[in-house]
Every structure is written in structure tokens, then in C-alpha cells.
Chain A
Amino acid sequence: MKIIVLAKAVPEVRNVRLALKGGDIDRSDLNYIINEQDDYALEEALRQKEKNGGEVVVLTLGEEAGRKGITQMVRQCYAKGADRAIMALDASYGDWDDAVKARIASSIISSEGADIIIGGSQSFDTASSRFGPMVAELLDIPHATLITALRNEEGGRITVYRDLEQGVQEIVELALPCLVTVQTGINTPRYASLNKIIAATKKEIKSTSLTELQISAQQIEAWNRVRRVSVAFPTEKESNTLFLQGKPEEEAAQLVKLLGEKGLIQR
């Protein structure tokens, strides 16, 4: 069983005040981490390998400026048990539509070949959930998105559970090779030990480029249909939020008083 994991390094923005720079957010001071759903995808791939044997290959696309953070993410994947990694970084990555990224990925995947391609159901930064199913269509293989369970069946098939709305799960069977995107919670991702992370620094990461893939600037231009015009902080819609101030005890006292006065809690 050969599994390709689509992993993306995303800037960690939780508990961070963001700044804007040149039509995008300023990433220069941000740490990169593996996109949360992709971490679950990697775990699912590693479990498949442990059960059925085979190879786990991590494929990541990203911006040249993020090389350091992306390399660290790949090393984390190595430390967890990935066998190989392919990295395609480009200075223009940040301006690309997923349609461009999907074509680059599918070009790499079609020469690699795989039984299962697995990625996260969305990325935290752009959250458009387009990349995976686009890659599947380009490779002409079936796909299932938002999966919460994966079971191997006889005869090169798998059964997956998909998240629908309101807690309903859809049970879908599909033939390999196929592409699936996972939801958080499908498993519990393992931690990488420090020793393994250190050992992983010596492991080679294969780099590829548009030149090597024979993709021209004209092709990129033609595929790039959705373009970012600007970014902004959300306009505060005359926020009616009342922010309580003070020490925790003072905040708690104000809150309990306020909720009592509004009759929201019994006094």
C-alpha cells in the first residue's frame, strides 16, 4: 500500500495579533505548524502502513519564504514515521489559486503513483476545502471528503464515514486508488519524540520545481482564476459586545451580577 499524504504548513495564528503587509498578512514573525487536519491525515496513513505494510510519502507545496517552517513540518512528519517527502516551494505560491496548486500536486502524484491519497478536509489559513477533490478530478480517481472513519475492505476497496450536517454520517464505499480528506477526530495523532525529530534532520527531503515538472508561467497564469484582491481585518459591526474589565474575581462578580439582573440565572 502506497499512501501519499497532502500536508500543508500553516502559520499559527491562535492567540496572535495579526498584522497586514502588502495585500496579505505579515507572516515574517509567525511560526509554521502542520495544518491540524493534515496531522490526522498523516496519522491515518501511518496506521494504514502499520496494518498493511507499504510506504508513506508526504507531499507539501508552499511558499519559498516559508522554507524553514515547512522543512520543520516535514521533519515532524519524518519523526512520526513518514518514509519520504517531496517539497515543491515557489516564490509565487501565495498568489496561487488552489486550481494551480492542485495541478502541480497532481503532476507530482501521477509520476509517483499511489493507492490512497489522503489530506485534511480544510486548511486553517484559507479554509476553502478545494485542493483535495480538485486533485482527485485531475487524476481521474474517486474521492470522499470530510471522513471520520476509514475501513479496508476486500478487493482493493475502502469504506469511509463522511460527516454530514447535524451529526449524521454517510457511509460510502470506493475503489482504490482514491483520494480522501479527513476530519479532526478520525484518530488521535501521535507525538514525535525529540530523539526522532533530531534524527529526522539528517533525512533527505526531495525538492522539485516548476521547471523540473515542466510547468510554464503561461500555464500557471491560465489556471490562476481566483485572485486575492485585498485582505482586511473584519469590520467591527458596531460591536455591542460588553467587555468586562479587571481582575478575574472582579470580572466574575460583574458577570454574575449582570446575568442575575437580566434574569438569565436564578439568584
Chain B
Amino acid sequence: MTEILVVAEQREGVLKDVSLENISLAREMAGNDGNVTVLAMGSGIKPVGERLSLTNADVVLIADDPHLKDYTYDAYRHVLKKVAEERRPDVIIGGHTSLGMDFFPGISVALDMGVATDCVRAVRNGGIVTVTRQLYGGKIDGEFSVEGACIITMRPGVCKPCSGGSVSPTPFAADFSDLKNRTSVRGYEKPPREDVDIEKAKIVVSVGRGIEKKENLPIFEELVNSLNGSVLAGSRPVIDSGWLPKGRQVGVSGKTVKPRLYLALGISGAIQHLSGMSGSDFIVAVNKDRDAPIFKVANVGVVDDIFKVVPAIVKELKNQAQAK
């Protein structure tokens, strides 16, 4: 019988959406007579068990223990190894998240299973798992086959959440007496509050690597000044270079924005960026590279030099203001 194991992810007792998405994928892979097991790890995670009990998984295992309060590779590996030994999964599914990136590659070696990460599609046919991954910054799609029992991590948001159901959670008691934890979490640091809240703005003017240097920022600030209700934000390279403060970062490790209008200027559209802005109502992208992935989410595209187009937009806006 096919056994698919979903490793659910939670933070502070809140289940991540990708876990529900992965249960629906597991259901597909398990087929009619297969079994879907979900494992959640944490400490004091009763709400997670409650949420998982309302899904169409077959078995929900809750490893609730103070050793699992924070994610640490060793404690998670300890539990997953035990669960994998018991359930002998054909496929283990996790999320391609910060935790997933840290955890699954190593555990794949420990369990001697192949691992494919950041998959945007996955199917299992005749015991073979085939996945699609994005390569070269989203310019190429690659299809890969994974031999034998394997681990896959899915990009958040690519699968639909699972259907409802009813299953009673089972506590999974792991003995931690032989655990030697080599890393310890000392705490968490939340980002500092910023003067400008880019999440609330109606218009976000966002600049990327294409602006080339900090000295070029005034060109884009002028556009912000000409557009009522707009704020200046940036993609990771701009924040990394210290050209804009951290609070202005759009993307996975920054903020998620959904303005009415998003102007992406000199941004190629790495997935980490796209996931932070693709929910915007209307997206305009200006980039020299016709194949830049940003154009795939844009409503309007301009394949041209930002240093020519942006001043022209500013001029056009000024002309209009004067004409009124």
C-alpha cells in the first residue's frame, strides 16, 4: 500500500498553509487505497492538531514535546527518523520554506532517500515520482525523476489546499533521552518598525538590481513624488546593498504587498520576490531583459531601459498635472 508522509510546518502554534497544500498533493499521490499520514512537531501545539483533524488525511501524528519548541535539525531528525522507520513512507512531502531548506536535504542523506526541493509540480506514476522545478532564475523549467522512496519539498502556493475531513490526532511520543542537540536557538528578532509602511500603500514603486547604484535612487524618488499615495520599495539586492532600509524589502524574507498598483523597475523577478508582490491588483514591469520572469506576472510590460523610461514617465505626469 502506498504510504505518503506529510511533514507539516507550524510556527507559534499556527499551521502553515503549505502543509494543507501538501496534504492535497499527498492525497493525489496516495491514490484510492493509499494512506496519507501527517506529522506535526512542536511544543504546545494543540491548535495545530485541531486544525489537522479537520483535513482529509488518514493519520495525524502530533509530536508535542519541549525538545521541539524551536526547530532544530537534530531534534526534528530524531523524530522524523523514528516516524519513517515505523511508517516506511514511499514519499515524504515538506514545504520549501526556511525550515524546509534547512531540514530536508540533510535528513534525505540520513534516511538514504533522494530529495528534490522547491518543486512546482509533482506526480507519482507507477512508483516513480516526477517533479518540475524552475531553473536559471525561472527562465527554464526542468523535469526530474526521482528514484525509489524519496523526499520532495513543494514551493508554497503551488498546490490547492486539501479538502475537509475528520481524523483524530494521535500523539507521537518520541524518546529524547538519546538526543544530542548540536545547535540551540537563542531567540528571534523581529524586523524594526519603519517610518513608511509599504504594506499599506496604494501604489508601490519598487526598484531592483537594475538601478545599478545608490546614486541613481533620486530618479525613482522623483517618480514616487509625482505619484500620489506611492511609496518606494525594493527587491533583496537593493536592501542587501544598503540602498534602502530592510523595512522596504518586498519578498519572502521581507514584506508581502498587495497594492492597487505595483511598478517593478529593473527587477528580474526571482521567485523570492514574486511571492511577495504577485498578489498586487495591477503590475507594471520595466526591464531590459525580455525573458525576465517578472513579465510573467505583469499586466503591462515595457522592455526598455529604466533610465530612459522612468524620467519619461515623470515628465508625462508633470505635463498632465500642468494641463489640468
A interface with B by C-beta (< 8 Å): 11, 13-18, 25, 97-99, 102, 121, 124-134, 136-138, 141-146, 159, 161-175, 178, 183-185, 188, 225-237, 239-244, 248-249, 251-253, 255-256, 258-260, 262, 264-267
Report Cα–Cα, A83/B231, bound state, in Å: 46
Chain B residues with CB under 8 A of A234: 134, 138-141, 296
Contact of A167 among B99, B133, B190, B316 (CB under 8 A): B190
Contact of B236 among A144, A174, A184 (CB under 8 A): A184
Report Cα–Cα, A231/B138, bound state, in Å: 12
In contact, B188 and A170 (Cβ under 8 angstroms)? yes
In contact, B320 and A256 (Cβ under 8 angstroms)? yes
A-B contact count (CB 8 A): 269
Report Cα–Cα, A142/B117, bound state, in Å: 20
In contact, A162 and B144 (Cβ under 8 angstroms)? no
Minimum C-beta distance from A145 to chain B (A): 4
Chain B residues with CB under 8 A of A185: 236, 239-241
Minimum C-beta distance from A15 to chain B (A): 5
Minimum C-beta distance from A223 to chain B (A): 9
Report Cα–Cα, A259/B190, bound state, in Å: 36
In contact, A134 and B109 (Cβ under 8 angstroms)? yes
In contact, B102 and A144 (Cβ under 8 angstroms)? yes
The reply on B255 being an interface residue by CB < 8 A is yes
Chain A residues with CB under 8 A of B189: 161, 168-169, 171
In contact, B186 and A172 (Cβ under 8 angstroms)? yes
Contact of B312 among A127, A134, A228, A251 (CB under 8 A): A251
In contact, B190 and A229 (Cβ under 8 angstroms)? no
Which B residues from 65 to 118 make CB contacts under 8 A with A?
A: 70-71, 73-74, 97-99, 101-103, 105-110, 113-118
In contact, A228 and B142 (Cβ under 8 angstroms)? yes
Number of B residues near A (Cβ < 8 Å) is 98
Which B residues from 168 to 187 make CB contacts under 8 A with A?
A: 182-187
In contact, B301 and A145 (Cβ under 8 angstroms)? no
In contact, A226 and B116 (Cβ under 8 angstroms)? yes
Contact of A229 among B130, B135, B150, B298 (CB under 8 A): B130
Q: A241-B300, A241-B301 are in contact. Are A172 and B109 (CB under 8 A)?
A: no
Minimum C-beta distance from B210 to chain A (A): 10
Minimum C-beta distance from A186 to chain B (A): 8
The reply on B15 being an interface residue by CB < 8 A is no
Report Cα–Cα, A262/B142, bound state, in Å: 38
Chain A residues with CB under 8 A of B187: 170-171
Q: Taking each of A99, A129, A252, A258, which has the highest tally of chain B beta carbons within 10 Å of its own beta carbon?
A: A252
Which residue on chain B has the smallest CB distance to residue A260?
B320
Chain B residues with CB under 8 A of A99: 108-109, 114-115
Report Cα–Cα, A231/B135, bound state, in Å: 9
The reply on B313 being an interface residue by CB < 8 A is yes
B interface with A by C-beta (< 8 Å): 11, 70-71, 73-74, 97-99, 101-103, 105-110, 113-118, 130, 133-148, 150, 182-191, 203, 227-229, 236-237, 239-242, 246-247, 249, 252-256, 260-261, 268, 281-282, 284, 288-291, 295-296, 298-305, 308-309, 312-313, 315-317, 320, 324
Which residue on chain B has the smallest CB distance to residue A10?
B136
Chain A residues with CB under 8 A of B253: 163-167, 183
In contact, B246 and A241 (Cβ under 8 angstroms)? no
In contact, B118 and A128 (Cβ under 8 angstroms)? yes
Can you list 14 A-B contacts with CB-CB less than 8 angstroms, sorted by A residue number?
A: A25-B136, A126-B135, A128-B116, A143-B73, A164-B11, A169-B188, A173-B186, A185-B241, A228-B144, A232-B141, A239-B296, A244-B301, A248-B304, A256-B316
Minimum C-beta distance from A120 to chain B (A): 12
Q: A133-B105, A173-B186 are in contact. Are A125 and B135 (CB under 8 A)?
A: yes
Contact of A252 among B190, B289, B312 (CB under 8 A): B312
In contact, B136 and A125 (Cβ under 8 angstroms)? yes
Which residue on chain B has the smallest CB distance to residue A179?
B106
Minimum C-beta distance from A176 to chain B (A): 11
In contact, B268 and A14 (Cβ under 8 angstroms)? yes
Chain A residues with CB under 8 A of B296: 234, 236-237, 239, 241
Report Cα–Cα, A20/B254, bound state, in Å: 34
In contact, B183 and A137 (Cβ under 8 angstroms)? no
In contact, A14 and B141 (Cβ under 8 angstroms)? no
Chain B residues with CB under 8 A of A129: 101, 105, 117-118
In contact, A146 and B261 (Cβ under 8 angstroms)? no
Report Cα–Cα, A11/B239, bound state, in Å: 24
Chain B residues with CB under 8 A of A134: 105-106, 108-109
Minimum C-beta distance from B307 to chain A (A): 9
Chain B residues with CB under 8 A of A159: 186
Chain A residues with CB under 8 A of B247: 167
Minimum C-beta distance from A137 to chain B (A): 4
Minimum C-beta distance from A190 to chain B (A): 14
Which residue on chain B has the smallest CB distance to residue A134?
B105
In contact, B309 and A184 (Cβ under 8 angstroms)? no
Chain A residues with CB under 8 A of B309: 248, 251-252
Contact of B101 among A145, A251, A262 (CB under 8 A): A145
Minimum C-beta distance from A221 to chain B (A): 10
Contact of A225 among B147, B255, B288, B291 (CB under 8 A): B147
User: 19 new A-B pairs (CB below 8 Å) besides A165-B98, A248-B305, A260-B320?
Assistant: A99-B108, A126-B135, A133-B103, A137-B109, A162-B98, A167-B246, A167-B247, A167-B255, A168-B189, A170-B188, A178-B182, A225-B150, A226-B144, A234-B296, A236-B296, A240-B299, A249-B312, A251-B312, A264-B261
